[in-house]
Structure 1
């Protein structure tokens, strides 16, 4: 089954998901059967070229801030897309995340008689997302072009069905984000020595609830046996500095874009991933934590509870409020002797989820 994965972003969740799907398809068919259509500035380009997959790249503008440059590049990008598809001749093209020029260039894929699979990360834009009307329009169009749609959680799938009632029965599959890797990296961690180390990792955006976390921590002045690192960059960087800057137990030295290679080091040097999201579909940070036997503390927003096995791989705050988040953190601190058991449960949950490779069935259904 020849396929191609097409994503012209330069990094982030789209690129990471692209590589993870490529790994799963390589397990089933061999790397040479799946081409990667990438941007030449992708953080994963070296890994892609070393993996045995055919790689086709484009250069130049990338990202939603380069609208004019992308429009000018569209004709040449269209030529490059067609050339790559003609050379590799896939039966299926997978779009692992919406990106600039996927709409309308996916018409070229359809025009060559190739079936499309589109992955939906979020059924709707999050609060504070850029260009929400444009995101809704292009995603609706891509879903309409796709032979099959893959949602990253059952929560997302249910909302997609509500928003797109014209989808056929069986047209949506669910592949949770954490089911994309090959195997967990460990079987669990021991109880931590010293303060319990929490990690927030990712883009600093309003929907991720860092203001809620700051308010929660301000209620915990009587506790000194915790630390928090906030790693990442984004529009709320200034607010994060203001919210957490006077808290001595919070490390803000990682408020910057970080390299892909830093993710494992961050996770391995902390104990609990914390996701105080006010609204969510699922979290890439939780997925990365699962692979390392790292439990997560999440709110009940969107598919987060589902993503940690409804508590098997972490803790779920009763609500996305400062009071509930603070109470859940305090529970982690007061029952820290149970951390090793929770970590072992996290690793077991990840292993069970990854036991079956669902991608051959998804591709076969799309090709039929």
Structure 2
């Protein structure tokens, strides 16, 4: 197959989940003999077209800031979509690709990719990481209707949709395609990498890793940990940064066991995060909004006891299954489960065995099958 991915950000030059997914799947498909091209912004040094990991990286727009203050820049997404359209249209009409895959979100590159594919036989496959719905009101405030309308237009655009989880597929079906037309191709992890990364100089008994934003509920974790820390002689490491950091550090300073809690900030080296997971006994993240939850899988591959939130806006229970624990995102429920986990309670299914099912090799095979079905018209 000749596969094109469209993504304004390109891994490893920008290190987010969506672009890492493209890298992991794309490099494995390239190893299997497929011709893989990624259309993105020019975040790398050197010419506009390079080879990386067996894939062709083709810049169709210059490097740009992705964020306007704390939010993803709408103008950046529109600019990339507009700049990518001419090159994509020319190459798709020349028959250079058998299938084109666009990530959602942002939405505008999906719409421009669809325009580029008109009057061609090249199918558009989309990867839906989340469907925001009413969350737009929290994210954009008075501009929320703009986000909702754009999301719905994108969902109703003719496409072959994949979703990273069943909860995302259900949300997508509520605003666009039939649920039966949505294939689930989850995110993955490199199990061997997790199991072999170096350990940190200092580890923590309990670990959190993620962006410090309100729905991650790190304040709930702080209170729950404080209630059990002394009894288990435990420590807590918090990896990540974000707009809530100052408030959370102030909250930490009011705890009885504040000296047992460290904020490690954002760790530039991804393997440093994995190393801390290997060193930890428990990974706890009471986040109430997770389109997937890749950190849960990474922590399970590191043989942590994972504790997550049981919440309708989170795919945690789907990802974790019975290889970890999902509790109500309250201080009391998290305290009880932390106490048990630090006391040695383990889930019914081996976390490492469960994580193996999500190794990127297996996920790449699922993606390959989905792309072939789109090309063959079997979808």
TM-score by length of structure 1 reads 0.81
Shift >6 Å, 4+ stretches: 186-189
Summarize deviations over 1:285-314 as a string: whole Å, max 9, x none.
123324434442111122101111x222x2
| Structure 1, unpaired ranges of 5+ | none
Q: Secondary structure at the match of 1:78?
A: helix
Q: 1:40 aligns with which of 35, 38, 42?
A: 42
In structure 2, do the counterparts of structure 1 residues 175 and 80 end up closer, same or farther at CA, with 3 Å as the change threshold?
Answer: same
2 CA distance for matches of 1:230 and 1:25? 35
Asked if 1:174 corresponds to 2:184, the answer is: yes
1:96–1:119 contact (8 Å) kept in structure 2: yes
2:6 paired residue number: 6
1:204–1:232 contact (8 Å) kept in structure 2: yes
Pairing 1:1-368 to 2, within 5 Å after superposition = 1-9=1-9, 10-26=14-30, 29-30=32-33, 33-41=35-43, 49-57=51-59, 58-65=61-68, 66-68=73-75, 75-82=82-89, 89-99=96-106, 101-111=108-118, 113=120, 114-124=122-132, 126=135, 128-130=138-140, 132-164=144-176, 167-168=177-178, 170-178=180-188, 181=189, 183-185=191-193, 197-220=205-228, 222-246=230-254, 247-252=258-263, 254-256=264-266, 258-301=268-311, 302-308=314-320, 310-312=321-323, 314-317=324-327, 319-335=328-344, 345-354=350-359, 355=362, 357-367=365-375, 368=377
TM-score by length of structure 2 reads 0.79
2:194–2:274 contact (8 Å) kept in structure 1: no
2 CA distance for matches of 1:42 and 1:288? 27
In structure 2, do the counterparts of structure 1 residues 23 and 271 end up closer, same or farther at CA, with 3 Å as the change threshold?
Answer: farther
Q: Secondary structure at the match of 1:219?
A: helix
Cα shift at 1:83 = 5.6
Higher relative contact order (CA 8 A, sep 6+): 1
1:116–1:148 contact (8 Å) kept in structure 2: yes
2 CA distance for matches of 1:292 and 1:87? 46
2:78–2:109 contact (8 Å) kept in structure 1: no
In structure 2, do the counterparts of structure 1 residues 279 and 24 end up closer, same or farther at CA, with 3 Å as the change threshold?
Answer: same
2 CA distance for matches of 1:232 and 1:352? 27
Q: Secondary structure at the match of 1:61?
A: coil
Cα shift at 1:229 = 1.3
Summarize deviations over 1:228-276 as a string: whole Å, max 9, x none.
1111121212222122234111111x22363435333333333332211
1:316–1:328 contact (8 Å) kept in structure 2: no
* Greater Cα offset, 234-243 or 100-109: 100-109
2 CA distance for matches of 1:187 and 1:271? 14
1 CA distance for matches of 2:357 and 2:281? 22
In structure 2, do the counterparts of structure 1 residues 6 and 195 end up closer, same or farther at CA, with 3 Å as the change threshold?
Answer: closer
Cα shift at 1:196 = 5.9
**When the two structures are aligned, how many residues end up with a matched partner?**
347
1:184–1:290 contact (8 Å) kept in structure 2: no
2 CA distance for matches of 1:155 and 1:251? 33
In structure 2, do the counterparts of structure 1 residues 196 and 204 end up closer, same or farther at CA, with 3 Å as the change threshold?
Answer: closer
1:35–1:56 contact (8 Å) kept in structure 2: yes
